[in-house]
Amino acid sequence: MLALIQATNDLKTIGDQVVQLIMPEVILTLFACAALVLDVMLPRGRKRPVAWLSLAGVGFALVSLGFLYFNITSEGKSRLGFFNMIVIDNYAVVFKLIFLIGAGLSILLSIRYLDEEGEQRGEYYSLILFSVVGMMFMASGVDLLTLFISLELMAISVYILVGYTKRDRRSNEASMKYFLLGAFSSGVLLYGISMIYGLTGSTNLANIAKALPIIISPAYEPLGQTVDLRYLVLMSMILMAAGMFFKVAAVPFHMWAPDAYEGAPTSTTAFMSVAVKAASFAMFGRLFLYGLPDLRDTLAGNADKNIPGLPGWAVLLGVIAAITIVWGNLAALTQNNTKRLLAYSSISHAGYTMLGLIAANETGYTGFILYLFIYTLMNLGVFGCIIALRRHGIQGDRMEDLNGLMKKAPWLTVMMTIFLLSLGGIPPTAGFIGKLYLFAGLIETGNPWLVRLAILAVLMSAVSLYYYIRFIRAMYIEPETEMQPVKLAPSLQTALAVAVLLVMLIGVYPQPLLRLTQKAAQAQGLKTHDYDQKKADEGEIERPPGAGTGR
Amino acid sequence: MEKALFIIFAVVSVAAALNILLQRNPLYSALSLVGTLIALSALYVMLRAQFIAAIQIVVYAGAIMVLFVFVIMLLNAPKEAPYIEKHKALRFLAIPFAGLLIAEAFYVIRLVKPIQMPASDDSAQAVGTTLSVGTKLFTDYLLPFEVTSVLILMAIVGAMVLARRGED
């Protein structure tokens, strides 16, 4: 007992300053619990107020995120909290903004759809809020433990959301597949994490980044004898990458995505295709740019002793991104189910997004975050339009269901067209700006292989236009196949209008968002790679201003 | 001595883990899992992580295994006759093995000496003791701990959502 008291005397305490850092998450958790309670109090069939309550929760979280931004990070500062478990920097704040916008719009899209499915219940909204809590910790976590637990918090909520329509067998199957593969990939990720912990002795990303340069030297001598740990380090990096590839649905770890997207209730598909992907990318960025920046490049060997250099993660990600872009676009060409088609399209977009990580310069990072922001808006918009087609007796997820939509709902058709063109990357929509930054980041590096990768991505994004235009042809040219009128619920209208306005606004006047994402890309600890000097900024975490490639 | 013990328990845990995969009857796999967990907890004791060792036995080998066995029983494990019943001759192997065990027990009883426990100041710095786990859990790992509680709450809600019967 005495020992315990002695130990608690020098306990580190947590003050308001620290609690403030997780205020958005605290608010969301409270509202998620309140939604559960309200759900029980409301009579059957009148559960809609739960949706408004959750929406209010998202709104309050946005406000408190705004406080965090203006109080702490707007000047480019960052603050660590909870014994170096989380960091609040612009990277975290912008990603949290993406998740909250995605969640808010998804809730708006869901209200009518759940009525249509006869599954309007409060747990749906609280599960969305819980998963957003997980996502937000994924964006700000700088400790492997926090990152993994928040990843699971997000993933398990989404497994349940996928299987939410219990009477639909496709939904059950999708949920089961997603759960089994997801649990397996979490295991792979955890295996990689455990190895890197064993190698570096820390779960903190900053400590790992500090320890890596020492242990990846081929002449590392911990106990008086030379040990080449590079293979083990690479093994753990590959395992972690494989886990993350699964979560962002990159080929060849994409098999779950088409089935899960098709089987899930469309409102869940919308949510998981944007928010889950953005959160997984946020964690991907944290892991690889904060924790393993030194593994990016070739791991130096020793020519005298005949020890070969080993390729780093830039090569791995480059190859995977190329395969993902090519396969995602080609597989999408032949699909007839719109949800399945959009699943393949979202796989290819994951490939594009990865290009920003590979470029590893400021333009690339800006493109990485900017693209996820824009992708959230436009993909939610497309799924919103598909949700609008779900009405009495019509599932609305076949290509034929779009036939002749122009005559039935001209406004919806126009909005859908804008979202599709944005996904295809046509100016003056937002999608163009995002892709521009991603590709420009690669070209700026001047590395011939990365430039070739950029050219491949541009070519494949031209291929993608083919299937986006298939939608447009069905809507404008094909004759109507059924006469059921299309009516948009007010909540759906609001969500679509907000999304379409933002997509157009960002496309025409991107400066405010650009400034915000550039700040996020300059966050401390996101190490950029200097292509001119091979031996740049060694062991230096804080980059001097303007060290990145200026535009 | 420590090395020998480590090798014994490591071999037991790996062998039992392999046995989990090789057994056709899920109940035997579950029993092998118990073996793995107990060997692992012995390894924890050797690392001076008594608390984790105890938790390993109480939570995993105890509670979670019972759940496993329940699930296997509910899912109606295949009613295949156990291997041992098909080969009646094998049962006579039991007698020499039992004899071996008894001899071993006598040997141990005769040889055993009071073991020197690690000094108390040594355990205060150890990683896996109750004190250090508790202190770490409520300082360094407070945030993951709290997030885990949200995770569990969410999992309960989710299980309820999926398990509930249709209302109409």
| CATH classification of the domain holding B50 | 1.20.120.1200
Q: Which of A12, A22, A130 sits opposite B154 (nearest CB)?
A: A130
* CB contact (8 A) between residue B154 and residue A156: yes
- A130 to chain B, any CB pair closer than 8 A? The answer is yes
Print the domain residue range for B26. 2-79+127-167
Residue of A nearest to B129 (CA): A4
Asked whether the beta carbons of residue A83 and residue B139 sit closer than 8 angstroms, the reply is yes
In a domain, B43, yes or no: yes
CA A217 to centroid of chain Cα atoms: 33
Distance, in Å, from the CA atom of A388 to the CA atom of A380, rounded to the nearest integer, reads 12
Whose structure tokens read 């008086």? Answer: A224
> Which tokens is A461 given?
């994004």
Task: Name the CA radius of gyration of chain B, rounded.
Answer: 22
Question: What is the predicted pLDDT for the residue at A400?
Answer: 85
Chain A CB contacts of B168 under 8 Å are: 118
> What is the predicted pLDDT for the residue at A551?
34
**Residue A529 has which token pair?**
């790679």
Of A8, A33, A153, the CB nearest to B147: A153
Q: Does the residue B117 lie in any domain?
A: no
User: What are the Cα distances from residue A60, in Å, to A18, A29, A140?
Assistant: 19, 12, 19
Q: Is A123 in Cβ contact with B161 (below 8 Å)?
A: yes
A157: closest CA of chain B, how far (Å) = 7
Helix ranges (DSSP H) in A163-287: 169-200, 205-215, 230-248, 256-263, 266-271, 277-285
Chain B closest CA to A331's CA: distance in Å? 32
Rounded to whole angstroms, what are the CA distances from A310 to A72, A294, A298, A304, A450?
40, 12, 6, 15, 18
Which member of A36, A146, A167 has the closest CB to residue B157? A36
Contact A114, A124 (CB under 8 A): yes
User: How many angstroms separate the CA atoms of A40 and A328, rounded?
Assistant: 43
Q: In this complex, which of A22, A32, A149 lies closest to B151 when CB atoms are compared?
A: A149
Q: What is the pLDDT of residue B10?
A: 93
Question: Please, which residues 65-124 of chain A have a Cβ atom closer than 8 Å to chain B?
Answer: 82-83, 85-86, 118, 121, 123
What integer pLDDT is reported at residue A549 of this predicted model? Answer: 38
Q: Are A347 and A328 a contacting pair, CB within 8 Å?
A: yes
Q: Where are the domains of chain A?
A: 2-538
Q: Answer yes or no: is B105 within a domain.
A: no
Helix (H) or strand (E) holding A79, with range, is strand A79-81
Beta bridge partners of A398: A337
Which one of A263-267, B26-30, B112-116 scores highest in mean pLDDT? A263-267
Within 8 A of B135 by CB-CB distance, chain A residues are 7-8, 11
Torsion angle in degrees (nearest 10) through CA of A85, A88, A94, A100: 70
Residues 6 or more apart whose Cβ sits within 8 Å of residue A199:
A211, A215, A229, A232, A233, A236
Give the span between the Cα atoms of B25 and B19, in whole angstroms. 11
The answer to whether residue B100 is domain-embedded is no
Residue A523: how many other CB atoms lie within 10 Å: 23
Chain A residues with CB under 8 Å of B124 CB are 3
Distance (Å) from the alpha carbon of A150 to chain B's nearest alpha carbon: 7
Q: How far is A325 from chain B (nearest CA, A)?
A: 34
Other C-beta atoms lying within 10 Å of the C-beta of residue B105: 10
Closest CA to B140 of A550, A14, A296: A14
Helix ranges restricted to H, A13-47: 16-19, 23-41
User: CA B50 from chain center: how many Å?
Assistant: 14
Conformational region of residue A487, where left means phi above 0, alpha means psi within -120 to 50, and beta covers everything else: beta
Of residues A159, A155, A139, the one with CA closest to residue A147: A139
Q: Rounded to whole angstroms, how far apart are CA atoms A286 and A289?
A: 6
pLDDT range class, residue B114, cuts 50, 70, 90: low
pLDDT in tens, B126-148: 667 788 888 888 888 989 999 99
Report the interhelical angle of A122-140 vs A23-41 (nearest 10°): 170
Low-confidence residues in chain A, pLDDT < 50: 533-551
Residue B15 in any domain: the answer is: yes
Going by C-alpha positions, the residue among B146, B151, B129 that lies closest to residue A83 is B146
Contacts of B154 in chain A (CB under 8 A): 32, 127, 130-131, 153, 156-157
* A137 vs B: CB within 8 A: yes
A164/B161 touch (CB, cutoff 8 Å), yes or no: yes
The total of structural domains in chain B comes to 1
Distance from the B108 Cα atom to the nearest Cα atom in chain A, whole angstroms: 36
Out of A14, A152, A160, closest to residue B161 by CB = A160
- Residues of chain B found within 8 Å of residue A164, distances taken between Cβ atoms: 161
How distant is the Cα of B91 from the closest Cα of chain A, in angstroms?
40
* DSSP conformation class of A212: H
Contacts of B167 in chain A (CB under 8 A): 44
Residue B141 located in a structural domain: yes
From chain B, pick out residues whose CB is under 8 angstroms from the CB of A82: 142-143
> Which residue in the set A4, A8, A153 is minimally distant from B151, CB to CB?
A153
Mean pLDDT of B35-64: 88
Residue in A with minimal Cα distance to B158? A160
Residue B144 lies in a domain: yes
**Residue given tokens 């899992």 in the structure block:** B33
Arithmetic mean of pLDDT, B53-71: 86
In 3-state terms, what secondary structure has residue B166? coil
CA–CA gap between residue A172 and residue A156 (Å, rounded): 15
**Chain A nearest C-alpha distance from B151 (Å):** 5
**Interatomic CA distance for residues B110 and B90, integer angstroms:** 31
Contacts of A8 in chain B (CB under 8 A): 135
Following DSSP, what letter does each residue of A369-401 receive, concatenated?
HHHHHHHHHHHHHHHHHHHHH-BTTB---BGGG
Q: What is the ipTM of this complex?
A: 0.87
Nearest-Cα residue of chain B relative to residue A35: B157
CB neighbours (10 Å) of residue A318? 21
Of B124, B140, B154, the CB nearest to A157: B154
Continuous H helices in chain B:
2-22, 26-46, 50-55, 65-74, 83-86, 94-111, 120-124, 130-138, 142-163
Q: Are A126 and A32 in contact (CB under 8 A)?
A: yes
Measure B143 CA to nearest chain A CA, in Å.
6
Report strand pairing: A79-81 vs A86-88.
antiparallel
Secondary structure (3-state) at A217: coil
What's the confidence (pLDDT) of residue A165? Answer: 87
Residue B31 in any domain: the answer is yes
The pLDDT of residue A99: 96
Q: Tell me how far CA of residue B134 lies from CA of A185, B51, B52, B145, in angstroms.
A: 30, 10, 11, 11
Residue type, A440: A
Q: Contact A82/B143, CB-based, under 8 Å? A: yes
**Are A133 and B150 in contact (CB < 8 Å)?**
yes
Q: What is the pLDDT of residue A435?
A: 93
Cβ contacts from A onto B, under 8 A: 83
Give the largest CA-CA distance in chain B: 71
Two structure tokens written together for B6: 């480590």
pLDDT (0 to 100) of residue B85: 64
A11 touching B, CB under 8 A? Answer: yes
pTM for the full model?
A: 0.86
